[in-house]
């Protein structure tokens, strides 16, 4: 019988001097969690690891005071699958959410998502499989270890001009990406137009996404749409407030090319509302829900059900966040790809050391669990917490 012995959390800085249209990252933190089990695989104790995605802060208070104690206080048999030989992520999720009212998700969804990541890592390690293979098996799907990734960057920072922006984009192309993203909305519309034109000239046939980080009111969002629609952009991301579905729906009248949003919707109910009321178009738009901010993979599977029920393909989901958890979901459940931040949020984001990007595709290595052990700088930080 598997037993969870301990759940540890530490809040770490991932500060940098970048900013998008809404926030700067100079005080950004992250929660790292280790779930220590009594089970041994390949001569090593199984420890599951998780962390929250960038953009929301560490959740040490909620994790230590509320969600980890509920798991540790539960009868350990109640956290296992029928056979008793592995953890049951859904049962653990239900245990964490005991005595939580519906709605008003706040940032508890980040705390739960962080623990959920560690639970799935441990579960796949105990099963002796990469998470993407375990997921595909559970859903009766054929896994595809090749995943599309694009390079997100193009932030504003002090003293950075158009030349530096273009050099940054060129460095992503040099590292194998053929799709890149820059921020907009943190400068005037004329400055942003110049940035976009300069980057398009530099990247040639590669694809460009632009991201406003929810900054615009309707009038500004439309003004940008009228400017942006003259360029062959891959997508126009998060124009207005994440919960302003009417703005998103109205914008579609002014922007015929693909749009993307969803990284700040934290439950399957919120995702379903976007699909019901946001005017998103299933033949061209993209959905960016990030499991590590929105109650984890147990909830993300419900979100995918809502996506399918609304007539969308999972291929239109390209999650925010750039972590290996979403890479596993993409490879296992047939998503359209994943975000990646080649130069930011290290050591948490990115790929195992052996992985190379070619034509904006990576191939998942066959590592048990989520694959954190294959990324040496990340695993060094994780081991510090567990040992
Ligand atoms: Mg974004």
| 8 Å CB contact between 218 and 247 | yes
Tell me if the pTM is above 0.85: yes
| Domain 4-128 matches domain 138-386 at the CATH topology level | no
Spell out a b/e string for 152-174, using b for 16 or more CB atoms within 10 Å of the CB, else e.
bbbbbeeeeeeeebbebbeebbe
CA–centroid distance, residue 126 to ligand 1 (Å): 34
Measured distance CA(20)–CA(15) in Å, rounded: 14
**pLDDT on residue 21:** 80
pLDDT number for residue 20? 86
Q: Which residues pair with 24 in a beta bridge?
A: 19
| Nearest partner of 96 among 123, 78, 121, judged by Cα | 78
Within 13 Å, how many C-alpha atoms sit on residue 236's CB side?
A: 29
Q: Which residue, among 213, 146, 144, 149, has the nearest Cα to 185 in the 3D structure?
A: 213
Q: Distance from the CA of 211 to the center of ligand 1, in angstroms?
A: 6
Cα(248) to centroid of ligand 1, in Å? 15
CB 151 within 8 A of CB 172: yes
**Which pLDDT score, from 0 to 100, does residue 364 have?**
98
| Greatest CA separation for the chain | 63
- Give the span between the Cα atoms of 159 and 136, in whole angstroms: 46
Q: How much distance in Å is there from the Cα of 24 to the middle of ligand 1?
A: 14
Q: How far does residue 292's CA lie from ligand 1's centre (Å)?
A: 14
Ligand 1 center from residue 238 Cα (angstroms): 6
CA distances from 61 to 6, 108, 109 (A): 17, 10, 13
User: In the chain, which stretches have pLDDT less than 50?
Assistant: none
- Classify domain 4-128 by CATH number: 3.30.390.10
Displacement of CA 271 from its chain's centroid (Å):
14
What is the reported pLDDT for 341? 94
* Contact between 291 and 297 (Cβ < 8 Å): yes
Q: Residue 80 Cα, ligand 1 centroid: separation in angstroms?
A: 36
Q: What angle do CA 109, 113, 117 make, to 5 degrees?
A: 175
Distance 147 CA to ligand 1 centre (A): 19
> CA nearest 33: which of 126, 135, 113?
113
Residue 215 in contact with residue 188, Cβ under 8 Å?
no
pLDDT at 331: 98
CA-to-CA distance for 152 and 293, rounded, in angstroms? 18
Active site residues: 183, 320
Q: Which CATH superfamily is domain 138-386 in?
A: Enolase-like C-terminal domain (3.20.20.120)
Distance 4 CA to ligand 1 centre (A): 35
Structural contact between residues 339 and 308, judged by C-beta atoms closer than 8 angstroms: no
Triad 83, 84, 85: Cα angle to 5°:
90
How much is the pLDDT for 271?
98
Q: How high is the pLDDT of residue 49?
A: 98
Give long-range contacts, CB 8 A cutoff, 24+ apart: 187-192: 187/156, 189/220, 189/223, 189/224, 189/227, 192/224, 192/227
Q: Can you give the pLDDT at residue 54?
A: 86
Q: Which two tokens stand for residue 232?
A: 């062959």
Q: Measured in angstroms, how far is the CA atom of residue 123 from the centroid of ligand 1?
A: 30
Query: CB–CB of 44/38 below 8 Å?
Result: no
Domain positions in the chain are 4-128, 138-386
Distance 55 CA to ligand 1 centre (A): 9
């Amino acid at each position: 019988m598997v037993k969870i012995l301990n759940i540890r959390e530490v809040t770490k800085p991932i500060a940098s001097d970048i900013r998008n249209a809404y926030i700067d990252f100079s005080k950004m933190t992250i929660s790292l969690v280790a779930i220590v089990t009594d089970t041994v695989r390949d001569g090593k104790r199984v420890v599951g690891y998780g962390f929250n995605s960038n953009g929301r802060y560490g959740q040490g208070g909620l994790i230590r005071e509320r969600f980890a104690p509920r798991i540790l206080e539960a009868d350990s048999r109640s956290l296992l699958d029928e056979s008793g030989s592995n953890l049951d992520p859904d049962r653990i999720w239900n245990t964490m959410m005991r005595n939580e009212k519906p709605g008003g998700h706040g940032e508890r969804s980040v705390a739960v998502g962080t623990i959920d990541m560690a639970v799935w890592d441990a579960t796949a390690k105990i099963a002796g499989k990469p998470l993407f293979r375990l997921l595909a098996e559970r859903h009766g799907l054929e896994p595809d270890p090749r995943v599309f990734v694009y390079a997100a960057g193009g932030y504003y920072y002090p003293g950075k001009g158009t030349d530096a922006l273009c050099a940054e984009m060129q460095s992503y192309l040099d590292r194998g990406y053929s799709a890149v993203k820059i921020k907009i909305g943190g400068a005037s519309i004329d400055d942003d137009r110049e940035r976009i034109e300069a980057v398009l000239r530099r990247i040639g046939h590669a694809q460009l996404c632009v991201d406003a980080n929810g900054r615009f009111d309707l009038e500004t969002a439309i003004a940008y749409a009228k400017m942006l629609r003259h360029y062959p952009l891959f997508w126009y991301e998060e124009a207005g407030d994440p919960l302003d579905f009417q703005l998103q729906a109205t914008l579609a009248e002014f922007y015929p090319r693909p749009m993307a949003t969803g990284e700040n919707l934290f439950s399957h109910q919120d995702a379903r509302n976007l699909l019901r009321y946001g005017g998103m178009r299933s033949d061209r738009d993209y959905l960016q829900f990030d499991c590590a901010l929105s109650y984890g993979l147990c909830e993300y599977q419900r979100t995918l059900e809502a996506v399918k029920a609304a007539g969308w393909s999972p291929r239109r989901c390209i999650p925010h966040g750039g972590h290996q958890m979403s890479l596993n979901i993409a490879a296992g459940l047939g998503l359209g790809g994943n975000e990646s931040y080649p130069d930011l949020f290290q050591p948490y984001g990115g790929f195992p050391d052996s992985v190379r990007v070619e034509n904006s595709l990576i191939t998942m290595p066959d590592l048990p669990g989520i694959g954190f052990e294959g990324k040496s700088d990340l695993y060094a930080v994780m081991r510090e917490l567990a040992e």
